[in-house]
A and B are shown apart, each in its own frame.
Chain A
């Protein structure tokens, strides 16, 4: 080869060239797309910019946590959607983990019928599109619930019908703030006690009565606090008038259906992760534990699951992120999440596709990053500590 060009064979030079070419190509492509887009939009007379966020939205949302009303601006609608997406995601993750663990452990049960049923459940759930679950639960839930006049009443304060679960809402929330504070303090205290007990056990080998203290702090204190708060507050109790119950807060069936779909679907995947994680713990561990005289539930809780967790956390993180992304299926059944409210109603009303889609994607990326960061922190915490 010509000597003048020989430097091309240098690995570093070639590396630089590759990277420069990639960068140039990418930048060029992006510039090209952006120019086309702005040209097309000007030609088509489509408005652009973020001014639309401050326009009155006029869209009524049936399930609001943020205090949004129809009179607020579109930015308010955006936050209402974000809050709804986060609400269903967080609750679905918690419940799916619970159900997933139950099914995964049942799958490994020595009881033949139980493990077969768990296996059938897993195989059934994993091989059907989530959209079927969403539709099934939605129309199933509505069909199973009675019309408002025949509502199922819970102590005559909460009412369940096919318009949702109507629960009373406190008129003055001040006492509940105190109750919440008391609960948080109790939980903090419980955490400190548990920590102290653990340290003491490591030092002296003695067990502290953690369970009794824990029960008092984690259950009794909250129950007392909430009871006190509820008794001292006036309640906006729903009453049947005309078409439906008035007053209170309504948990809409769309929420319940989406939650049920996400939980039952994701549990199938979590169960497989749990099974794989537990099976990956060497059998010698279980044998050693039972040789030490631990009973089976104890072995599971103290020996197997803590070790399995290390294997389970990375795939679990993926499942949790999937729950977040899959919450967008709510759009199919009118659950007012970010996709349904913002990419649906707001987009059609304003027509500003680029801005709205970019904001929606950003929401998912930001929440996703937060979940990943939390799980990474947790993973580092439970990782094998070599002393």
Chain B
């Protein structure tokens, strides 16, 4: 560090007596939290072994996480078939990257194609059938389930959200009213209640004999709630768009659907992408609530593993590990959202 830099840090932290005192106080506070935490998580932790008895160092027992790692990732998905989950994950990531880095004129087509093909491919790979061994949803769990619920709920939420955002802006009073009612209802009720609602009520309102998969019910319930939030995010984009855009399109002779599809929506969605990403982050966090209907997502499987008599007392380890994963996912997403927000502002 050069002398000037050191100098500038010194003024920044200890420039005046007040600043200095504040720096010291905060510094001590941080140390007070960080030192025991680091000792527990890293220095005093036990990393290798096979059972609880191997954790003798007094700190975190990461042996537990290692022993349960497969379950944290895949739940009770049969070990021989886990390659299918990995494959599905890789395909989704590659497809996402291809869309992001594709030339602009191909992007929309690629995106639409992926939107149709990928979900079906994903269900086939995970669920089996057609020459793959069927794996029932009750065997799914862990991180894969968190990701699955997030993605498939937003597959319901985004189209619905766009539709209701447009409906809320519509000139037709009935459509506007229905949209407002839908949005405000789902935004007004807690997600815990919605998941309950979906799991209890969906089987009741279907004609006798038609069962809906337990997981599908949770996905539908979450999808409806997030759709309402997505609708508000998209509405922000629609409102930010100058009215002249639609007027110009109409003047060119485009009808409502064409003007919406080719002129208004593409621009509005670009504006609302950061807001929609934030709603997606909220969705990822809210997937934890599916554990109220005994679907074991990452947090659920972590909790379930605590009940194992041979690994009693691993609460801190289980929560710290799963919490870190949630944090990494959400943090990365929020960074990305901020990045696109910044780059669109610069444009």
The chain A residues found within 8 Å of chain B, CB to CB, are: 15, 18-19, 22-23, 26, 33-34, 36-37, 39-41, 43, 111-114, 117, 123-124, 126-132, 135-136, 139, 321, 324-329, 331-332, 339, 343, 353-354, 357, 360-361, 364-365, 368-369
Known: A127-B330, A129-B286, A364-B188. A36 touches B206 (CB 8 A): yes
Closest to B324 in A: A128
B134 interface residue (CB < 8 Å to A): no
CB distance from B206 to the nearest CB of A (A): 6
Known: A22-B174, A37-B204. A361 touches B189 (CB 8 A): yes
B13 A112 Cβ-Cβ under 8 A: yes
B193 interface residue (CB < 8 Å to A): yes
CB distance from A249 to the nearest CB of B (A): 27
Closest to B333 in A: A127
Closest 9 CB pairs of A and B: A127-B330, A19-B174, A328-B190, A33-B205, A325-B190, A129-B285, A129-B288, A353-B200, A368-B188
Closest to B298 in A: A129
Please pick, from B197, B288, B292, the residue contacting A331 in the complex, using a CB distance under 8 A.
Answer: B292
Known: A19-B175, A23-B174, A36-B205. A331 touches B188 (CB 8 A): no
A111 B22 Cβ-Cβ under 8 A: yes
B201 A136 Cβ-Cβ under 8 A: no
A111 B289 Cβ-Cβ under 8 A: no
B22 A128 Cβ-Cβ under 8 A: no
Please pick, from B27, B178, B200, B206, the residue contacting A113 in the complex, using a CB distance under 8 A.
Answer: B27
Please, how many angstroms separate the alpha-carbon atoms of A23 and B197 in the complex?
24
Please, how many angstroms separate the alpha-carbon atoms of A321 and B189 in the complex?
9
Residues 162-188 of B at the A interface (beta carbon under 8 Å)? 171-175, 178, 185, 187-188
A124 B327 Cβ-Cβ under 8 A: yes
CB distance from B239 to the nearest CB of A (A): 13
Please, how many angstroms separate the alpha-carbon atoms of A360 and B174 in the complex?
27
CB distance from B163 to the nearest CB of A (A): 11
A-contact 0/1 string along B282-306, CB 8 Å cutoff: 0001101100100000010000000
Closest to A139 in B: B315
A123 B331 Cβ-Cβ under 8 A: yes
Q: Which residues from chain B contact A139 at a C-beta distance below 8 Å?
A: 315
Closest to A124 in B: B327
Given contacts A34-B205, A354-B204, 16 further A-B contacts (CB under 8 A): A15-B172, A19-B172, A19-B175, A36-B204, A36-B205, A127-B281, A129-B326, A130-B285, A132-B299, A321-B188, A324-B190, A329-B192, A339-B193, A361-B193, A364-B188, A369-B188
Please, how many angstroms separate the alpha-carbon atoms of A368 and B261 in the complex?
34
Please pick, from B26, B188, B197, the residue contacting A114 in the complex, using a CB distance under 8 A.
Answer: B26
A-contact 0/1 string along B213-242, CB 8 Å cutoff: 000000000000000000000000000000
Known: A37-B205, A43-B208. A365 touches B189 (CB 8 A): yes
23 contacts between A and B (CB under 8 A): A19-B172, A19-B175, A22-B174, A23-B174, A36-B208, A40-B204, A40-B205, A111-B23, A113-B23, A117-B26, A128-B323, A128-B330, A131-B288, A132-B288, A132-B299, A132-B319, A321-B187, A325-B191, A329-B192, A332-B292, A339-B190, A357-B196, A364-B188
Q: How large is the interface on B (under 10, 10 to 19, 20 to 34, 35 or more residues)?
A: 35 or more
CB distance from A105 to the nearest CB of B (A): 14
CB distance from A104 to the nearest CB of B (A): 17
B12 interface residue (CB < 8 Å to A): yes
Please pick, from B187, B207, B285, the residue contacting A128 in the complex, using a CB distance under 8 A.
Answer: B285
CB distance from A191 to the nearest CB of B (A): 32
CB distance from A341 to the nearest CB of B (A): 13
CB distance from A316 to the nearest CB of B (A): 15
B334 interface residue (CB < 8 Å to A): yes
B130 interface residue (CB < 8 Å to A): no
B56 interface residue (CB < 8 Å to A): no
CB distance from A193 to the nearest CB of B (A): 35
B344 interface residue (CB < 8 Å to A): no
A326 B190 Cβ-Cβ under 8 A: yes
B13 A113 Cβ-Cβ under 8 A: yes
A365 B334 Cβ-Cβ under 8 A: no
Please pick, from A26, A112, A360, A369, the residue contacting B193 in the complex, using a CB distance under 8 A.
Answer: A360
Closest to A34 in B: B205
B190 A364 Cβ-Cβ under 8 A: yes
Please pick, from A117, A124, A130, the residue contacting B30 in the complex, using a CB distance under 8 A.
Answer: A117
Q: Which residues from chain B contact A113 at a C-beta distance below 8 Å?
A: 13, 22-23, 26-27
Please pick, from A37, A41, A127, A136, the residue contacting B334 in the complex, using a CB distance under 8 A.
Answer: A127
B48 interface residue (CB < 8 Å to A): no
B22 A328 Cβ-Cβ under 8 A: no
B50 interface residue (CB < 8 Å to A): no
Closest to B205 in A: A33
B13 A41 Cβ-Cβ under 8 A: no
B200 A26 Cβ-Cβ under 8 A: no
CB distance from A338 to the nearest CB of B (A): 9
Please pick, from B192, B207, B326, the residue contacting A339 in the complex, using a CB distance under 8 A.
Answer: B192
Please, how many angstroms separate the alpha-carbon atoms of A169 and B35 in the complex?
42
Q: Which residues from chain A contact B185 at a C-beta distance below 8 Å?
A: 365
Please, how many angstroms separate the alpha-carbon atoms of A132 and B297 in the complex?
14
